[in-house]
């Protein structure tokens, strides 16, 4: 059986549907351009796709793809005014990702502290 080659667009769409909200957030944040777009939108003003494209000196399809990923992750919301699509940052997914990082950071800090206490004990047993 031969399968038709999958397009990046189909794969990306199928992947995004299967991911959890947190996975979508981290996937969206994995790209430097998207992080920069979030930084710009964090100033509070809604921006059009055209304004973002000019600011990042990127072609409209490239900016649209980045905005689509951010929108699917729930990081931006779109409003439409005639033919102009404006995007505004949503805080909730970023706060959820931050909370997840803080929880796991506390776990790893505790694990490192336990290891720091255990290593001298192990070294003492090796000598005796």
Q: pLDDT tens across 97-122, in order?
A: 998 888 878 777 777 777 778 778 77
Q: Is residue 112 in a domain? A: no
Quick one: DSSP state of residue 57? T
C-alpha 41/C-alpha 37 separation (Å) is 6
pLDDT at 17: 54
pLDDT above 70: percentage of residues in the chain: 81
C-alpha 94/C-alpha 50 separation (Å) is 24
Residue partners of 97: CB distance under 8 A and separation at least 6:
22, 25, 26, 29
pLDDT at 119: 79
Q: Is residue 87 in a domain? A: yes
pLDDT band for position 7 (50/70/90)?
A: very low
C-alpha 8/C-alpha 40 separation (Å) is 27
For residue 94, what is the domain's CATH number? Answer: 1.10.10.10
pLDDT at 18: 56
C-alpha 114/C-alpha 96 separation (Å) is 27
- Yes or no: say if 71 and 49 are a contact pair by the CB < 8 Å rule: no
pLDDT at 33: 94
Residue 72 sits in which domain range?
A: 15-98
Q: Is residue 52 in a domain? A: yes
On the CB side of 44, CA atoms within 13 Å amount to 0
The total number of structural domains in the chain stands at: 1
Q: Is residue 25 in a domain? A: yes
| φ/ψ bin of 79: left (φ > 0), alpha (ψ from -120 to 50), beta (otherwise) | beta
pLDDT above 90: percentage of residues in the chain: 52
- Kindly report whether the global pTM for this prediction surpasses the value 0.75: no
């Amino acid at each position: 059986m031969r399968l038709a080659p999958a397009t990046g667009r189909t794969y990306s769409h199928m992947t995004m549907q299967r991911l959890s909200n947190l996975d979508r957030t981290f996937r969206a944040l994995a790209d430097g351009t998207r992080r920069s777009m979030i930084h710009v939108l964090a100033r509070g003003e809604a921006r059009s796709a055209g304004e973002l494209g000019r600011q990042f000196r990127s072609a409209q399809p490239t900016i649209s793809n980045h905005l689509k990923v951010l929108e699917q992750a729930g990081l931006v919301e779109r409003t439409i005014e005639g033919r102009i699509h404006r995007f505004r940052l949503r805080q909730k997914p970023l706060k959820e990702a931050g909370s997840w990082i803080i929880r796991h950071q506390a776990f790893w800090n505790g694990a490192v502290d336990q290891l720091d206490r255990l290593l001298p004990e192990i070294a003492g047993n090796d000598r005796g």
